[in-house]
Structure 1
């Protein structure tokens, strides 16, 4: 896909990405750096190289004083922040950019929603996720930005992704430090854990598709003061994801389904936030708003292709195949305890 769909009112458009090298932001950074109508700047700690034509500003986003000092020498039309999730950070960003930019895009999350009250979710659905502090903090940020928009026209656009994956990570139910921790178990014929019964639905958006649609929100006047889902509308369930992964690895599925409430008892991993606050719910996200307000909403990479792209990438970068011994042992212990429990209760009801 050619990612040059943004609406330009001036050339060149000066764009600042805060972050720019993560799973969501890197394809956006790469695409914008190739656009001759964009003068691209990326602010981060400088740990990763940037695409050609991207100007790097080395600064820790959390060091507000240094950031303010550095930015005195710059002016921007658009700012996209992929890092912020604390309310106090939102306040400081508004103070820093008030009256100086045409648009500020805040990357939020669908984890902000209260999933208890609906299956079909649109952007106006109630927020305040009872299980996820991360989601609640993002909600507070959204509220601060929207208040600034309502009170003095701060040009905010809010984007809410669901799970967005890429070449080096994939959608998984329970994992360790990396996605390879699950793949390693599959390759070694060890069972893997999936929350619930594996039948809850999930939306998986590849970061290349996310970037294509995101870029069309940039410098788009319709999006000011609005929040948008940017999600692949195709729905799968967790067992489908894992069966596709097993098939690509030429392995027979060995899936252990464990109730989400049970997994959330873990003292080792924060499963309450990731599973109870997000993955346990069957949600359908309404895409009509972004389809209405951008010229060409598309999603081409389905989960089967995305999984294959991940496995191909890992074969080309074997140094990333790092086994997580702690997670591996934890899985063995949890599965052993769960299977013993199942044996104990058989015949009692």
Structure 2
């Protein structure tokens, strides 16, 4: 069977590509600009190009058909409209990567299923994903376009450390603050619940849907089974670093307001996602992919990631602006406490 992944070298997709590269049943193609070829398994075929150059891609795909096409870099309706034009009649299944952040915030019930209403007034990213889903499912209902919707939550790999609050350059500065004995900001009181999934586990659920006729026209959330509070998540990182966690809890509303003044979209990432407790019911996925389970719990996954990150500091940027932002927020709130 032939699979084409648009992108294919990101956090979610790399785990899938590596898993399929070891499966003799699959022939894997990546369509991207070729910037990260060194990380791609040798038996994976590369189609180099810009997916936004539609005519060039159409020419490069001339005569090719696939069992599965999945776009990991489609973030708005314009992108999925392009994919429909390129792949309608060329693939037996098109898998769209949506997001669990598309679910209603706050949800009517803390247990999330695929039937939970989609609505996110806080985050444009999530609203765009909802619009993509609606377009593709409309094409399925009207024309039989073979779409499958996948909704990941917080997926990570060896290159990433999951956090609730970080700067525009990513997680690295928070790790540095922990190492330096500084306080780190955690949204809310740290007790809200969250699901984390290592990309190797995610790949099991995803590949189990590939080529599966029962997945056509359906949506599936793919997350691990482990549920942790945000305090537990940060303490697990500190334990793996061998340092003491010094948490500083700040309300998500305050972070959203003050963060906007410094160029941080905490309204979307927190109010629209990470500040809300979620527990995912993955029974729909497990009916089709019964082997889907958590094999890399967070206390192991974060050590895998930290081993890589600490061994490759040249790949990560320190973020003095975010470091200063954290200090300003903590100083301002401490001063406010003393004035009461």
> What TM-score do the two structures reach when normalised by structure 2?
0.95
Conserved 8 A contact 1:34-1:53: no
Matches within 5 A, 1:243-322: 243-265=235-257, 266=259, 267=261, 268-322=263-317
2:100 corresponds in structure 1 to 110
Residue 62 of structure 1 and its aligned partner are, at CA, apart by: 2.2
CA distance in 2, matches of 1:35, 1:213: 15
1:215 corresponds in structure 2 to 207
CA distance in 2, matches of 1:272, 1:67: 37
1:336 corresponds in structure 2 to 331
Number of residue pairs the alignment of both structures matches:
333
CA distance in 2, matches of 1:120, 1:314: 33
Matches within 5 A, 1:25-174: 25-49=13-37, 50-116=40-106, 117-174=108-165
Matches within 5 A, 1:157-196: 157-176=148-167, 177-196=169-188
CA distance in 1, matches of 2:232, 2:304: 17
CA distance in 2, matches of 1:292, 1:38: 23
Which residue of 217, 225, 232 maps to 1:233? 225
Conserved 8 A contact 2:95-2:150: yes
Residue 196 of structure 1 and its aligned partner are, at CA, apart by: 0.4
CA distance in 2, matches of 1:318, 1:282: 33
Q: Secondary structure at the match of 1:328?
A: helix
Aligned-residue CA RMSD (Å)? 1.2
Residue 318 of structure 1 and its aligned partner are, at CA, apart by: 2.9
Q: Secondary structure at the match of 2:83?
A: helix
Q: Secondary structure at the match of 1:115?
A: coil
Residue 306 of structure 1 and its aligned partner are, at CA, apart by: 1.1
CA distance in 1, matches of 2:225, 2:334: 36
CA distance in 2, matches of 1:96, 1:188: 51
Residue 321 of structure 1 and its aligned partner are, at CA, apart by: 4.4
Matches within 5 A, 1:17-32: 17-32=5-20
1:198 matched to 2:193? The reply is no
Conserved 8 A contact 1:28-1:215: yes
CA distance in 1, matches of 2:84, 2:65: 15
Which stretch of structure 1 is more off in the superposition, 292-301 or 37-46? 292-301
Gaps of 5+ in 1: 1-12
Conserved 8 A contact 2:225-2:293: no
1:16 corresponds in structure 2 to 4
Residue 323 of structure 1 and its aligned partner are, at CA, apart by: 1.4
CA distance in 2, matches of 1:213, 1:31: 11
CA distance in 2, matches of 1:104, 1:230: 17
> What TM-score do the two structures reach when normalised by structure 1?
0.93
Residue 222 of structure 1 and its aligned partner are, at CA, apart by: 0.8
Residue 238 of structure 1 and its aligned partner are, at CA, apart by: 0.3
Q: After the TM superposition, which parts of structure 1 deviate over 4 Å for at least 4 consecutive aligned residues?
A: none
Which stretch of structure 1 is more off in the superposition, 335-344 or 195-204? 335-344
Deviations 1:203-258 (A, max 9, x none): 00001100122111100111000000110121100000111111222222211100
Residue 120 of structure 1 and its aligned partner are, at CA, apart by: 1.2
